[in-house]
Structure 1
Amino acid sequence: MLTDWGFRPEQQRMMVIIATVAGAVVAVVALVVAVGSIGTYSPERQASAAVIGPDAVLPQVFHGWNSPKLFDPLTERSKDGKALTEKEVFGQSELAVSKKLKLKLVAKQLDANCSQALWGENLLQLVSDAGCTQAARGLYASSDGRYVGQYTLLNLKDGQSAGQLVETLKTLYRGGWATPLTSSKASFPGGGYSEAGGYALGHYVGLVWLGRTDGTEPTAKDDFVSLTLALRGAEKAVYRRVVSITGTPS
């Protein structure tokens, strides 16, 4: 075609070289634009078991729930200014799962600095922004020695912050979670399987964490639903605070 247009052989070779170089430049520009559109990589946001290590102590499953209307009187901490006490949250030494099975409190701790009860850069920043002033943790061992559980109650500034924290934890929990308490009577095995749930309760957030002491996944014989309900017995403190504001129903 170039010959028909009257170009000499040396002119044709020059035109091919120019076209090849121009094509390479266009390809490089397109690659730079594509890479730029991908964004930056953040290890914290992309946290996974491979990033934090195979022996990490954190749940493999997490579910979150918004605050029920029952806790609307506790939407603002300004209307519930009295600080939590260890006795208020963990006054019961045992929580009944069934007639034969109980969860026994083996360790408890109330921290005014929430960063002492949690880990993960993004999570710590989130609870700081949420005005977290208290983190109450209780570690439980089942009476049959098969299960371990921890309940954590966070005191945040308002219901919006509590709801946002629970929603964010649906993806953030693999890169930030509650620090487990330690006891010779119970512990979460490193790298073992465990499940967790987050509950917004007005301006509070309750975190339930359960697992088998051998670290294996639950079977049909392991009633994690009943264990979760029992562990949430620590939330009676929050219910009592609702009643203190609204009064006892007639």
Structure 2
Amino acid sequence: MTAALAAAAGAVGFSHSSLASPTQANSAVNVAALTMGNSQLSEVTTARIERRQLATRDSSRVELSTTEASKKQASAAAISKARAAKLDATKKLTAQRASALAAAKAASEAAAEKERKSSTRCEMMISGYHITAGFGQGGSRWASVHTGTDFAAPIGTPIRSVMKGVVLSAEFAGPYGRQVRIKHEDGTETWYNHMSKFSVSPGETVYAGDQVGAVGVTGNTTGPHLHFEVRPDGGEPINPIPWLEDTCGLNP
């Protein structure tokens, strides 16, 4: 501004030596500024306006950048929240399914256990056998007629309780060898003989399919087998085959 005014003053021919007084000099400068400095003043004003506009644009850009950043942060937060909610829902669904499966498994196991412990459930005493002697059969191997049915099988083959009952005895019984006697709920006794070992003890409750011993050759026998007897109310023996068919629904 000062340079512009000085230039203007020079342009009209003023100098310190030609002025009558300082007051006259100032007046001349003012007149020069008013008459000759309009273009320079316009440039200064324009520059100031441009600076203001530039500052306004910069401010707008900063505000826009801040707004965009805020939008991006909000969007990222929303996406993160949605993912967390989806993950939480998935976890809850997985937990519900696991709980339902566990409940179904527990119910199935409870039903199977109830069925296993049913007093009417029956299971064959032995597997992998063949019958070598029947009930009432005579011969030199017995003092009288045969009192049971012989199921021949390899030594060590598991012998199982035919149905639910209480073990009356598990002991060596002379010609019967190692013998287990079980009393069932209707009073019928089943005898398992010639075993190589015991798997139960007197007083123990067993269920259909529970192992009571294993095939052996103890007592009066010529080979490994299960000698199986059925005695209603603990009395005289009856033919085991019809009993297994009629009472237990088994087909030996």
TM value normalised by structure 1: 0.29
TM value normalised by structure 2: 0.29
Bigger CA radius of gyration = 2
